[in-house]
Copies of this chain bind each other. A is one copy, B any other.
């Protein structure tokens, strides 16, 4: 998403802490051109994988985008990053339990899309 959905709570109370819409927060979490491809690939793989291995699996993603998105997921606790002090450097990424817990929800998205997707007129 584009820009990225700064989260605008519909009809917010006059004052105090505003509570962001969970659905909007969710979409924010998995927005971005490569978010789902990366996340789902890590979920399916399950075990730790090297950066370059991941990049080949999700080609043609750029290093910049892969790094950026992985760091975002890491901050969210969806992905764990393991750095090995070696030469050449080795960095491995693995989905966390929290990340894995997303699977059923993501599958339900896919299910709806597969079921009703063909009814959708313009796919752009």
Contact = CB atoms under 8 A, between A and B. Distances in A.
Interface of A: 1-6, 8, 10-11, 20-37, 40-41, 57-61, 75-78, 98, 101-102, 105-106, 108-114, 116-117, 119-123
A29 B2 CA distance: 11
A103 B60 CA distance: 34
A82 B115 CA distance: 27
Copies of this protein in the complex:
2
Given A5-B32, A21-B40, 18 more contacts: A1-B2, A1-B27, A1-B33, A8-B34, A8-B37, A21-B37, A22-B109, A22-B114, A24-B36, A26-B109, A27-B27, A27-B35, A75-B121, A101-B112, A101-B116, A102-B116, A105-B108, A109-B109
A113 B105 CA distance: 10
Contacts of A102: 112, 116
Contacts of A32: 1-2, 5
Give 10 closest A-B pairs by Cβ, nearest first: A1-B1, A1-B31, A22-B113, A22-B110, A2-B3, A2-B4, A2-B2, A26-B109, A105-B112, A1-B2
